[in-house]
Each structure stands twice: as C-alpha cells, then as structure tokens.
Structure 1
Amino acid sequence: MKNKKYINLRFIVLLSLGIVIFSACEREFSDDVEFAEFPPNGDVFIDAFSAGLDYFPFVDAGADPEAFSVETNEVFAGDASMRFDVPSFGNGFVGATFNTTAQRDLSGFDALTFYAKASQAASIDAVGFGISGETGNRFQVTLNGLGVSTRWQKYIIPIPNATNLTSETGLFWLAEGASFEGDEGGYVLFFDEIQFEKLGTVAQPSPAIFSGEDLTEQTFTGSTSTVTGLTQTFNLSSGENVTVQAAPSYFNFESSDTDVAQVNELGEIAIVGEGTAVITALLGGVAARGSLEITSGGGLEAAPTPTVPEANVSSIFSDAYTNATESNFTPGFGGSTTETTMISANGNAVLSYVNNNFTGILFENTVDGTNRTTLHMDVFAQEPGVSFEVQIRDVGANQMIETDVNTGFPTEDDRDFRFTVNGLTVGEWNSIDIPLDGDIASQKNNLGALILVGGPNFLLDNIYFFTE
C-alpha cells in the first residue's frame, strides 16, 4: 500500500495500452454491459489523503477546527496517521467530514475499515461515512459508541447495501466530545489505514425499522409521520454482531394500502385517506424487522374552541385570539431530532411534532405574565404512551435564554417551571391547564419560551396564558 503512487502509474500506462489494442479489434459490446462511471477507489487515508480528499470541520455546530492534524510519530503502519485532539468539557468537540471532489464507485466493497487507538480508553460518540452534499446524506452510515483502547486495533463498519454507493463523496466522518463535566475529554485519538475493503466475511444481514418493534398509531388524513429506528446488523468473522444506523435511502419502504398511507424514499409517511395500512421495509432484499400499523379515522377534528375572554388572555398560538407575540416554532436546537410542521384541522392551524426529543417555542417579544395564573394548551395524542415535559421559561431582565452548561437548568437571571403532560386519551383533543406556580410564580414578567422535551409524537393548539 505504501507504493501506491508507483503502482497506480504502472496501471494507468498498462490500461492505456490495453485500450488501444482493444479498440483496434473493433469488438462490439453487448447492450447488457454496464460501465462504472466513477473509479472504484477505496482508499481514504493511507499515509496521506487520497485523491481529492479534504477536511471539513463542523464549525457551525461548535467543533474545534484546529483539533485535526496529520501525525508522523504515532502510526500503525507507514509514515503518518490522522490525529484528533479531543477537547475537555466546555471547549467544543471534535467533528468533521472527509469528502472527496472525485466521486467514487464503492459498490464493490462491503465495509469501511480502519485502525484506531487513543491516549486513554474512550468511547467515540459517532463515526461513519456518507455525509455528502452531492447526495444530501442519502447514504449516511453511523456507528455509535465505538470503544477504543490505548493499543492499535482494527475496526469494521459494514456497508448496509453497497449497490447504492456508485457515486459517493462522503468517505469518512466522526464526532466526539465531552457532553458533561466528568465525561471523557482532553485526550488524543488516532486513526490509520482508513479504507473501504471487500472482506467477504460480512454476513447474516438483519435490517430493522422502528428499532425492530411492531408499532400501532392512530392518525388522521393529512398528517405525516417518519420511519425511525433504521438499523442494519451484520455478523463479522470474529463472531461479533455490528449494528449501524442506516439512512432511509438504503431501504425500500412499502405500504400495504397506498390509498391510506404512502411512504417515500426518505421514510416520510403521508396519510392520504381513511382506513388501515401497514408500513414495512426491505434492505437488499431482506425483510426488515419492525413495522407500523397506521389507522386513519379521516380528517382531524378541530380543537375545542376557547371560551376565556380575550382580555384575560396572552396568546402564543391560537386562531381564537390575537397572539401576544410572534414566535419561532422551529428553533433548530443542536441535537434535536424534532420535525415541526403546521397543518390544518377544519381550517384551523395546528402544530405537529414528530420524533420530538427536545425543541422549543421561542417568543420574539417577551410576554408579561405577572397577572396570568395558568398556561393552557390542547394536546392531541396519536398513539398510546405520549408523555412530554413543558418548561415555562422566564428569561429575566436581559431577555435572553441562558442555561447552565453543567446542570441544564436556567442561570440566576432566568426562572422556569416544569410540568409533565401524560395520561392523555388517544385519538382526541385533551385540554391541559398548567398553573404558573413554583419557581416561576415570583418571576413571570419576561416569559420568553416554552421548551418541549419528549413525546415523541403529538399535536398542539390553543397555547395561551390566561387569568382564572
């Protein structure tokens, strides 16, 4: 592998001669012959960047752009390795993608392999391939929690279905950092001999959707959902099973009744009619474990019409009142998986939250809730077990949301109150009244946000503060 440039040069010369001789024979090709449009080059980093490869740190997400370097003293083989200096907690993280300007045909390989070690035992948050602007990350693969030691060891990330990778540019990526005080950080991580290989020992594929569970969901025409929990598991020659997170485009999704539910390549499910449909999937011709049975009762009924006089209301989101402030319903918090959309229920606007882990409603102008006693919201649960926390946040005199990075709680200038919404009746609107008591009772003159944690799927309407 260390004579790569010389070997490639010889190959190019010989190939050129072959083409001349072959052309002289004037042999005709069958219509069934398929020609690869891009080179089948599996090299990523072997002593140096492979052809066209470059480094793109996740600076906008807070990654340290200086964390990466090429190391010449600590190597597994040859002359150089990749070095990542993982910052200590509070100083950003290591995060980058390594992409090539020359698209590669990786369909002949079955795994990304590399050697890795660290200055201390550690667990890498995420590592993989397929982050690519050209493909919109359609074939992204993620391996979470990869354990590394202080000795060089070979690691294998299987390709879920290599036939998809005929024009790939995203060859490697990783993200690692300390998430809290005491979490691993302040150490050095090394990678070497990163390449795509045809091992021939990656076997027994076992794909899954919805994490292998058979789920049910009550829904309505016009709503949307998303296939989640997408994984592919392979057995390696060592006997170890390796599970990766696979992008939706690796799968072929199916709906048992497309007059009820339709699902596209991205795993986005659109409910188009009344009835029941089951969503399943194949990956590489293998049936995925897990499914979603969707029952649509037709159109969504409107939430109950509020009866509180407008003079006693400070509205955040409701067609029944003039809102007290404009709000940002899609703040794009880092690490959030939430998909927030605005849909219609009998002509009324409704907020739809899908796959929510945490998101927020950020008020453009603070609301004076000094004389308000209660927060009201109408919640529609589409499935059993919906539960989420509402954090009512007063942002203080500086009117800025501030959170202590160590505790996750507001700083001294801010106050909040946390209330858990659960016990909801499925398939209908539930009216929830949350009293403004506890820590926020003494400071609610600069109400600036509602933080929503958990769910994962629910609808909201008629969100307003009012006086009893």
Structure 2
Amino acid sequence: MKRILYTSAHNAWLIIIIIILNGCYDRNVDELLSPGFPAKGEIFIDDFSSDLIYAAFGGSDVKAFQIDNKETYGNSKASMRFSVPDANSALGAYAGGSYFSKTGRDLSGFNALTFYIKATQSATIDVLGFGNDFGASKYQIALNGLAINTNWQKVIIPIPDASKLISEKGLFYYSTGPINEKGYTFWIDEVQFEKVPDLGRITGSIFNGEQRNNSTAEKGSTITIDGNLATVNLPSGINRTIQISPSYFTFESSNPKIATVSTTGIITVLDSGSAIITAILGNAKANGSLTLASVANTLMPEAPAPIPNVNAKDVISLYSNVYTNVPIDSWNTRWKYSTTENSFIKINNDDIIKYYNLNFVGIEFSANQINASSMMHFHIDMWTPNATNSPNNVKVMLVDFGANGIYGGGDDVSHEIIVNSPVLTSSKWISLDIPFSSFTGLKTKSHLSQLVLSGTVSNLYVDNIYLHK
C-alpha cells in the first residue's frame, strides 16, 4: 500500500475547490510577476499576490476561507478570515486548505514565513505551514499546535534551508477543527516570507534527536527516518520547533554497502553488517542517528494479503494499496517502554508493514483525527510466523480523544479487542473485520486518534487497515 508521510498532510485528499485569487483591489502593473521564479515574499498584504491559487482540502468546509475588510491587523485594508465549522457540520468536518503559486517563487533570500493571527476565543490551531503544493510537497513545513487567543500575535515559522527553495510553489497552508465540538473564527493577516533579523541558528534533528539502535534490521527491508525536526531561537528568546520534510536533510551512511538512504529518508538494508545513519541540515550535523546491525531474512509471507473489495466511497483507509489513505502522523510512536521496531516491505509489489520485537506499538493520527461516526467496521489483515496457540494473542485497541479532541482532556475513550486461536493462525493471513459495536468502551468515535497493537507474538505483518460502513 502507498504510504503517506506526515509531511504530506492532506495531500491524499482530493481537491474540492480551486479558486484563482485575482485580488480585491486595483493592482499596479509593477506587481505583475515576470517569467521565471520571482524572489517575492508577499502572500497576503491587503490583497493576494497575482500568482496564487487556493485549494480547500477534501472533507473540509470549502467556504471556510473568506476575505474580511473589517477585522484586520493594524488597520490594514483586509485580512484572511477562517470560519471553523461545528463538529458534524454538513459543510465539512474542519477548515483547511493550501495557497500555492501557479509559477513558483525563489524564496532563497528569506529565512522565515511570518504572519499575524487572532481568534474569537482561545484555541489551538492544529497545523500551519508552507510547502504543501498539492503535488510532491517536497519541502513541506508544519508548525503544530499553535496556541492563539483574542489578541493579535506575530508568528514566525523558520525556513530550515532556504537555498533549496528556488522554485517553491507551496506558500501557505492550514488545517484545524472545532474546539469542544464548537466552531469559531480566526483571522490571519500580513502573510509574507521575509528576512527576520536576530533569528537564531537552525538546529536539525532526525529520530527526534535520539541515538537509536536497531540490531534486528533485515536484509531487503526499508526503514523510514522519522522525527525530522528543526529548532530555532526566535527574536523573543523562545525556541520554536517545527516538523520538516526529509528533503531538507542530506543523509549519510557510514557503510553504503550495508545500508543506503534516499533523499526522502528511506533507509534500505542491502546486506548483513553494521552501519550508522546520520544527517546534515544546511552545513551543520543534525542531532540523532540510527545504528544498524542487520541480519538475514526471517520467515515472512510468500503472498500479499487478500485484496479488499469494499467500495471506496464507503471506506476511510489508513494503509492499503487499494484505497487512498488519510495522513498518519506515525506508524511507530516509540512510546516509553515500547521495544517495537518496524519496516516497510513489499511482497509481490504490495506494500506491507512489518513490526518486530513487538510488545506494543502506537500508531497515531492525532494531528489528522478521523471522524468515524458513520463507519460500522474496523478492518485489518495480519500475518505472524510465531506460535499462536493459547495463551498467545494479538490485541487491537482504538482510542478516541473525545469531543474536545485533546489527549488527556477528560473525555478520552478506548477499547481493546483480543485476537487469539483459532482466529489467530501462524503463517497465514487473517482478515479481521470487527464491528465497531464490539469496541464497547469506545463511546465516541468522531475523534479517533490512535491505534495500538500489542500481544505476545514478536513478529507481526499488517496490511489493509481501514474503516468502512
């Protein structure tokens, strides 16, 4: 199945609406863009620059964005107004979209995207950033969980390595949902790329800055470099950390005969042996590394999982070649005490996730929560080479963050299903199609945010993870 990295938030969705932003006011001929890639930072200052297109994300309220001439920053002529819908609104589940250039821009002379923001109430914006161009989104940036209130505040989102942005089309994007199931309004104004003075040095991190070890990586497997971050000290003295695309890094392997790394951060294990994976951001070594000690192949499925036949219109897919998949934050959250490693493999050209050294693994999509209110079943295909006789088992847990959509917000709910023999069988694909009614503790399912797999088997292959009506 086709994997979607966190940096491609909402790229998997279809574009619902595209609007060419011609502007609201008279425009000077001098403002017209010349051929090539102009070094222009302005996105919205009283009006949109002439090269912009707006595209609403699939499933969002396509009319959430409007231009406002009343509520503006510093008495400017206009601002961008965003109306977040109520939960379960017929208009859409959230507000979200991307502003991108028809031609591309040279942003190499800037060091940050800046704008002002305020709201009708205290709120947390799920994600804001740039680099989402509804294409490859090669250099996407995400600022997650920005706290805002009723006062205007300036936001600075640093550019990790501006030298790479010589033809960037994705200039600004946003995505956020209701608070406690109620919508609200927020405004953004004076949006531009600029050269911010006194911006600190960028520090990059891979694997969240951790020194990781993998002593059981298998020949032929691939490992995705996660936890790609950049941190900078803002002029205010506050450190700001953003999620960044792996394309900003230069990856290195100490032993390319054992393991190589692609420009998109995919490690391929070529042979048995040892290698250390590191990265460089700009001209500085990034924090974090992975020490590999690869081994020979272990027993794995000879054939892919059964092909699903549920109509795509009735499916919300997390992982499947058959369907378009929603964005997933992480396929291995590496929570404390978890020993689980994972790799992405192909069997007869079908993409499969392998979990090994499994005790428990968190699969998280809290930044892109799933409204499963209309879904009736949870589906997953799994295969294990390990013994499955009693008391061996695999456990499947779903977690919903409740009406407020916040972890630990007092209304989180979850339920765990235990799968054992005779349903659980060794060296054979099993297809679990579990009614949501069996998840009796899952009292709500409009903010599904986590899937947790655990059990006594140490090796587990999974595919075709989806919800359906």
TM range (shorter): 0.5 to 0.7
Match of 2:445 in 1: none
Question: Which structure 2 residues correspond to residues 373-384 of structure 1 after superposition, within 5 A?
Answer: 377-378=383-384
Aligned mates of 1:39, 1:223 — CA distance in 2: 42
Match for residue 162 of structure 2?
162
1:363 match: none
Match among 346, 358, 373 for residue 343 of structure 1: 346
Partners of 1:232 and 1:113 in 2: how far apart?
17
Cα pair 2:114 2:191 within 8 Å, conserved: yes
SS state at 1:418 partner: strand
Write out per-residue CA displacement over residues 416-445 of structure 1, whole angstroms, 9 at most, x where no aligned residue: 961389xxxxxxx99999x9999869xxxx
2:138 aligned with 1:138: yes
1:210 aligns with 2:232: no
Decide whether the 8 Å contact of 1:319 with 1:462 is kept in 2: no
Instruction: Name the counterpart of 1:31.
Output: none
Whichever residue aligns with residue 50 of structure 2, its letter is A
Task: Please tell me whether residue 84 in structure 1 is matched to residue 82 in structure 2.
Answer: yes
CA distance in 2, matches of 1:461, 1:93: 30
Note closer, same or farther for the CA distance 1:352–1:379 as it changes in structure 2 (3 Å cut). Answer: farther
Is 1:43 matched up with 2:46?
Answer: no
How many pairs align? 364
Matched, 1:118 2:140: no
One-letter code aligned to 1:109: F
Q: How far apart are the structure 1 equivalents of 2:244 and 2:434?
A: 45
**Residues 249, 228 of structure 1: alpha-carbon distance in 2 compared, 3 angstrom cutoff:** same
Instruction: Give the counterpart letter for 2:328 in structure 1.
Output: S
The Cα shift of 1:458 comes to 6.0
User: Is the CA contact 2:328–2:364 (under 8 Å) kept in the aligned structure 1?
Assistant: yes
CA distance in 2, matches of 1:260, 1:454: 32
| 2:383–2:460 contact (8 Å) kept in structure 1 | no
Distance, in Å, in 1 between the alignment partners of 2:48 and 2:463 is: 55
1:239 aligns with 2:237: yes
| Alpha-carbon separation, structure 2, partners of 1:52 and 1:462 | 41
Distance in 2, Cα, partners of 1:127 & 1:153? 14
Q: Quote the residue 1:104 is aligned against.
A: 105
How far is 1:343 from its partner? 3.3
Q: Pick the aligned partner of 1:334 from 321, 326, 345.
A: 326
Aligned match for 1:290, one of 280, 288, 291: 288
- Asked if the contact 1:336/1:356 (under 8 Å) is kept, the reply is no
Q: How far apart, CA to CA, are the structure 1 residues paired with 2:55 and 2:433? A: 46
CA distance in 2, matches of 1:329, 1:211: 27
Whole-Å Cα distance in 2 between the matches of residues 378 and 452 of structure 1?
22
Identity, in percent, stands at 33
> TM-score normalized by structure 2?
0.66
Counterpart in the other structure of 1:426: none
Distance 1:158 1:132 in 2: 18
Task: Note the alpha carbon deviations across 1:273-330, whole angstroms, 9 max, x for none.
Answer: 11011110000011111111111112x1225xxxxxxxxxxxxx8759x979879844
The 3 A distance-change label for structure 1 pair 260 and 335 is same
Following TM superposition, by how much is the alpha carbon of 1:48 offset from its aligned partner in structure 2, in angstroms?
1.1
Cα RMSD (Å): 4.6
Instruction: Name the SS of the counterpart of 1:204 in structure 2.
Output: coil
Contact 1:388 1:453 in 2 (8 A): no
Q: In structure 1, how many angstroms separate the alpha carbons of the residues matched to 2:121 and 2:450? A: 37
Corresponding residue for residue 187 of structure 2: 190
Instruction: In structure 1, list runs of 5 or more residues that go unmatched.
Output: 16-35, 304-316, 360-365, 368-374, 381-386, 393-402, 409-415, 422-428, 442-450, 464-468
Q: In the TM superposition, what are the counterparts of 1:40-79 in structure 2 within 5 Å?
A: 40-58=39-57, 60=58, 62-77=59-74, 78-79=76-77
> Following TM superposition, by how much is the alpha carbon of 1:51 offset from its aligned partner in structure 2, in angstroms?
1.8
C-alpha distance after superposition, 1:375-394 (max 9, x if no partner): 984168xxxxxx984269xx
In structure 1, C-alpha distance between the alignment counterparts of 2:280 and 2:245, rounded to whole Å? 13
Partner Cα distance (1:174, 1:452) in 2 = 22
Q: Which has the higher contact order (CA 8 A, sep 6+)?
A: 2
How far does residue 231 in structure 1 lie from its aligned partner after superposition?
0.4
Task: Assess if the C-alpha contact under 8 Å between 2:114 and 2:194 holds in 1.
Answer: yes
Q: 1:357 aligns with which of 358, 363, 379?
A: 363
Residue identity matched to 2:295: G
Paired residues of 1:113 and 1:196 also in contact (CA < 8 A)? yes
Q: Which residue of 2 aligns with 1:396?
A: none
Contact 2:130 2:171 in 1 (8 A): yes
Instruction: Tell me, yes or no, if the aligned pair for 1:230 and 1:248 is still in contact at 8 Å.
Output: yes
Shift in CA distance, 458/101, structure 1 to aligned 2, threshold 3 Å: farther
Q: SS of 1:221's equivalent? A: coil
User: How many angstroms does 1:148 deviate by?
Assistant: 1.1
5+ unaligned residues in a row in structure 2: which ranges?
Answer: 1-23, 311-318, 332-342, 356-360, 366-375, 387-392, 406-414, 421-425, 440-448, 465-469
Instruction: Give the TM-score normalised by the residue count of structure 1.
Output: 0.66
